Amino acid sequence: MNGREIALNILMDINVEGAFSNHAINKYLKGKNNVRDENLIRELVYGV
């Protein structure tokens, strides 16, 4: 899954399930080692 798909899944969790953004981000980024992807995901989620 690429960074944009992960960001979309996080936004859907926030919108549909009422998840808190920081909890949803941490759930999806657990175990990710690519800092560039993490930064992109955070920027996309927090920028919406």
Written as one string, the DSSP assignment of 1-48 is --HHHHHHHHHHHHHHH---HHHHHHHHHTT---HHHHHHHHHHHHT-
Query: And the tokens for 41?
Result: 């995901």
Domain count, the chain: 1
Q: What's the domain range around 26?
A: 3-46
Q: What is the pLDDT of residue 1?
A: 85
Model pTM score: 0.88
Q: What is the pLDDT of residue 33?
A: 76
Over residues 1-48, the pLDDT tens digits come to 899 999 999 999 999 999 999 999 999 999 877 899 999 999 999 997
